Amino acid sequence: MRTREREREFHDFFVAEHHALQRFATMLTGDPVRAADLAQEAFVRMYQRWGSIRRDDPGPYARRIVVNLIRSEHRRAKVRELRPVGSPAAAPDHAARIEDWLRISTALKILSPIRRATIVLRYYEDLSERQISAVLDRPVNTVKSDLRRGLAELREVLQPTAGERA
């Protein structure tokens, strides 16, 4: 594969995916600045193997790299204090949506990185249990167990709020 063709294809993928990948990383970390770093690192690593991964759907592969990067950081730092999320530069009419994002990202922080990734892949990225198993390289039964336990943990945090809203 010629370099020019490789870079053109890779550029198309970058343009199509970089916001979505950042949002995915933001959901996992709660930190948009770190999410941008993680997304860029994922693109850099994907480029090394672009010749082989381009034939499959590279989107799940990119998400797997992001999850693995977060897990590696987590192992190194064990419990890493996530940087407090400052108010993003949002227009006042976006305040409610931003509030939603802060509430959810705070709730997700109670989960371990792998369980958080499982929940986000299932309910945000809308992947099936089998697809999550492939992305995270974990047995389907483990994915099911993580989903069950992750939901139980989130329910404790989120359900009172849901009740209040209802």
Partner 1 sequence: MSFEQQLRDDLQRAGAAAPVQDISWDETLGRARRMRRIYVSALGAAAAVLLAAAVAAGSSLLDSPQGLPPANPSPSPAPSEGGVSLAQVEPTVKAWTHAIDDGRARAAWNLMTDRAQAEVGSFARFEEMVSNELAEGLGAFARAEGVRYATSVVASSGEGAAGVVTIAGVVDQEGATRPNAVAVPFRVLAFENDRALIDQGFDGRWGVDPVSPARDVEGGNAFPRGGRLESNIRPASGTVGALPSVTFHVDGDAVTLPADLERTEDGSLEQVRASAELPGSVDPGPHLLTIVAVDAGGRIYAHALHFELLRY
**Nearest-approach distance from CB 135 to partner 1, in angstroms:** 10
Q: CA-CA distance, 51 to 116, in Å (whole number)? A: 30
Closest alpha carbon to 65 in 37, 105, 99: 37
**Nearest-approach distance from CB 50 to partner 1, in angstroms:** 9
The label of the residue with tokens 């929940």 reads: 119
Complex with partner 1: residue 81 or 137, whichever CB lies closer: 137
**Nearest-approach distance from CB 32 to partner 1, in angstroms:** 5
How many CA atoms lie less than 13 Å away from 50 in the CB half-sphere?
21
**Long-range own/partner contacts, residues 34-37 (CB < 8 A, 24 or more apart):** 34/83
Complex with partner 1: residue 81 or 166, whichever CB lies closer: 166
| Residues comprising the chain, all counted | 166
As given in the structure block, the two tokens for residue 40 are 């860029």
Neighbours of 30 (CB within 10 A): 22
Complex with partner 1: residue 81 or 163, whichever CB lies closer: 163
Complex with partner 1: residue 59 or 74, whichever CB lies closer: 74
| Under 8 Å between Cβ of 120 and 24 | yes
**Nearest-approach distance from CB 143 to partner 1, in angstroms:** 11
| Under 8 Å between Cβ of 86 and 154 | no
**Nearest-approach distance from CB 162 to partner 1, in angstroms:** 5
Complex with partner 1: residue 61 or 132, whichever CB lies closer: 61
